[in-house]
Amino acid sequence: MSVSIFSLGVANAVHAPPGYVTDIFLVLLVAMIAALALEEKIHAKKSMITGFFAMVALIGGEIAGILPRGDALVLPGTHHTLPVYIPAIEWGVIAIILGSSLFIDVVSRSGIFSWTAIKLTKISGGDPRKLLIYYCVLTVVFSAVLNNVTAMIIIGSLTAVSLAKLDRKDLMLAFLLTEGFMTNIGGLLTLISSVPNIILGSMAGISFVKFFIVSAPYVVVSTGVTIWLATRLFGIKGLKTDTERAAAAELVASFDETDGIESRAFFSLSWLLLAGFILTIATTEWLPYVKDLGMGYVAMSFAIIAMLRYKHEVDKNYSAIDWDLLAFFAFLFVVINVMEHAGVLALIGDGIRQLLTLGEVGGGLSLMWSSAAASSLTDNVPLAAVMGNILQDAHPPMSSWWFTIFGTNLGGNFTPIGSASTVVAVSIIHRNNLPLNFRGFVIKAIPFALAQLLVASGYVLLASAVGLI
């Protein structure tokens, strides 16, 4: 995909702003990040927060005279101008998110995801340890193929129902927390598994296949480590006697995996569509014509093909879209664009460059752990956008990009507000009346997040040493 998040601003840059202007906009950026971190406290949706700051940043930028003006699109004999906030938005990213959300929503209605999840539940025979392993692996796969929020919703809601059925509500907190941690591992598997991957991977010029080859070994190892930790720390044991196993198997047998399937034909078609979607996304960069249109085009095309099944009621698919998320990204891109012109990103970049002077290993590790710390407290999307822009200017070694990708994804596991999927995990926990506050989450999460980051540190260093990166 083409990456031009800040291209207009760079191309038409005006004079460097005075220091006090940069300081004012820096305060604005910090205020926005703080507001996003306190989203739950201030009872405001993400899009409202970034929308408000985009509005203030744009008018502030105009008043300060830092925003570029000029023709944005010139065709022979024509003269067009676009407001700065239109090209400021990375529409390729928006198209990927919109298209894949629509596509996933439609194929979800075929029942393929619930069928898979229930089938695995039955295969586990109701054994808690097997159930944890299956659910964790499924969370990783779903996070990679869908997105981490949808994965958490599917597996989290099944966990609540299946453990209640098995009368093992005592394990529900452990399961939901572990699954929350797994979403951010699964989010590392492919270039489109998480938004930070899309932003950072694309800006670094990492292809879909390359991304998968590098990240897959880590995902496998980290999944194993996380499951092992969960069984140890939460005391999740397998069933011991035949009587226990028979009773549990009888209970899970009451799940009917075909219940959510309304049409067998569409169920089968959805498998084909999903396989086609993954295959096409993976090979976009090699497909003639399609490669120029990018992954956003692929996602939107598959969404439209899938929606043909519900062509008479597509409004229902549209209503399932997380418009708050899309608006959040759009406004965020605008804010970041203004910050670029205000010199805020350059200022932060100076600090990051200091880290890079520590060398490839020291600098990379510092980048990863500081990215993880930052993304544990606020959304990792703005962090990825800021970091990507700075790294693009700094031309660091490729390992720095990978350290940042791992850091921004895995940092979300430290706190309940660190990533959208952990927010979903906590909301499922609270819906089931399980006691867990911010501090309780952090205490339980630290061993997992530290272990995952330590494994990531060693892995990126090793991958870099053997020339994989």
Partner 1 sequence: MKLDDFEAVFRSSVKDRFRYHEPQVNSISLVTDLSGNDAAELLGKVRPYVEGLVYSGLDWHVVSKDMYTNVPELIGVVGNLASDLIVTYRHLHGRIKNLLHSLGSYVDTLTQATNVPVLLLPWPEGDRFDANLERPRKVLVVTNNIQGDDRLVNWGVFVCPDEGELVLAHVEDDATYNRYMEIIGMIPDIDTDTVVERVRKQLLGRPAYYINTIAKALRERRQERITPIVIMGHALSDYKRIMAEHNIDLIVLNTKDDRQLAMQGMAYAIAVEIQSIPLLLL
From the list 155, 190, 390, 368, the residue with the least C-alpha distance to 279 is 190
Q: How far is CA 134 from the centre of its chain?
A: 22
333: how many CB neighbours lie within 10 A of its CB?
26
Q: Which is nearer to partner 1, 290 or 320 (CB)?
A: 320
* Span interacting with partner 1, options 40-48, 50-58, 151-159, 456-464, rule CB under 8 A: 151-159
Phi/psi of residue 451, nearest 5 degrees: -60, -45
* Span interacting with partner 1, options 21-29, 34-42, 149-157, 279-287, rule CB under 8 A: 149-157
| Rounded Cα gap, residues 370 and 177, in angstroms | 23
Are 363 and 356 in contact by the 8 Å Cβ rule? The answer is: yes
Contacts of 110 (CB under 8 A, 6+ apart): 261, 262, 263, 266, 267, 269, 270
3-state secondary structure 115-141: HHHHHHHHHCCCCHHHHHHHHHHHHHH
From the list 97, 185, 91, the residue with the least C-alpha distance to 137 is 185
Binding mask 317-356 for partner 1 (x = CB under 8 A): ---x------------------------------------
* Span interacting with partner 1, options 179-187, 210-218, 257-265, 400-408, rule CB under 8 A: 257-265
Q: Extract the tokens encoding 364.
A: 């990379």
Q: Which is nearer to partner 1, 219 or 252 (CB)?
A: 252
Site for partner 1 contains 157 (CB under 8 A): yes
Least distance in angstroms from the C-beta of 322 to partner 1? 9
Q: Which is nearer to partner 1, 255 or 401 (CB)?
A: 255
Opening angle at CA 98, ends 92 and 103, nearest 5 = 120
Site for partner 1 contains 162 (CB under 8 A): yes
Q: What's the start-to-end Cα distance of the chain, in Å?
A: 20
Site for partner 1 contains 153 (CB under 8 A): yes
| Rounded Cα gap, residues 4 and 90, in angstroms | 7
Question: Of residues 73, 253, 279, 462, which one binds partner 1 by CB under 8 A?
Answer: 253
From the list 103, 97, 92, 100, the residue with the least C-alpha distance to 305 is 103
State which of positions 421-460 bind partner 1 (CB under 8 A). 424, 427-428, 431
Q: Which is nearer to partner 1, 71 or 256 (CB)?
A: 256
Least distance in angstroms from the C-beta of 248 to partner 1? 14
* Span interacting with partner 1, options 42-50, 59-67, 157-165, 357-365, rule CB under 8 A: 157-165
Site for partner 1 contains 130 (CB under 8 A): no
Residue keyed to tokens 């340890």: 129
Site for partner 1 contains 386 (CB under 8 A): no
Least distance in angstroms from the C-beta of 114 to partner 1? 5
| Residue 82: its H or E element | none
Q: Which is nearer to partner 1, 23 or 257 (CB)?
A: 257
| Rounded Cα gap, residues 463 and 469, in angstroms | 6
Site for partner 1 contains 416 (CB under 8 A): no
Question: Of residues 114, 194, 378, 457, which one binds partner 1 by CB under 8 A?
Answer: 114
Question: Of residues 111, 125, 126, 296, which one binds partner 1 by CB under 8 A?
Answer: 111
Question: Of residues 100, 108, 143, 371, which one binds partner 1 by CB under 8 A?
Answer: 108
Question: Of residues 136, 154, 174, 377, which one binds partner 1 by CB under 8 A?
Answer: 154
User: What is the rounded (10 degree) CA torsion for 336, 337, 343, 349?
Assistant: 50
Least distance in angstroms from the C-beta of 150 to partner 1? 8
Are 376 and 414 in contact by the 8 Å Cβ rule? The answer is: yes
Q: Which is nearer to partner 1, 107 or 199 (CB)?
A: 107
Site for partner 1 contains 23 (CB under 8 A): no
Least distance in angstroms from the C-beta of 424 to partner 1? 7
Size of the site for partner 1 (CB under 8 A): 29
Residue keyed to tokens 């605008």: 334
Site for partner 1 contains 116 (CB under 8 A): no
State which of positions 77-106 bind partner 1 (CB under 8 A). 105
From the list 143, 217, 128, the residue with the least C-alpha distance to 185 is 143
Question: Of residues 45, 130, 165, 291, which one binds partner 1 by CB under 8 A?
Answer: 165
Q: Which is nearer to partner 1, 40 or 350 (CB)?
A: 40
| Rounded Cα gap, residues 179 and 167, in angstroms | 19
| Rounded Cα gap, residues 264 and 275, in angstroms | 17
User: What is the rounded (10 degree) CA torsion for 36, 42, 43, 46?
Assistant: -20
Site for partner 1 contains 254 (CB under 8 A): yes
List contacts with partner 1 (CB under 8 A): 105, 108-109, 111, 114, 117-118, 150, 153-154, 156-158, 160-162, 165, 253-257, 259-260, 320, 424, 427-428, 431
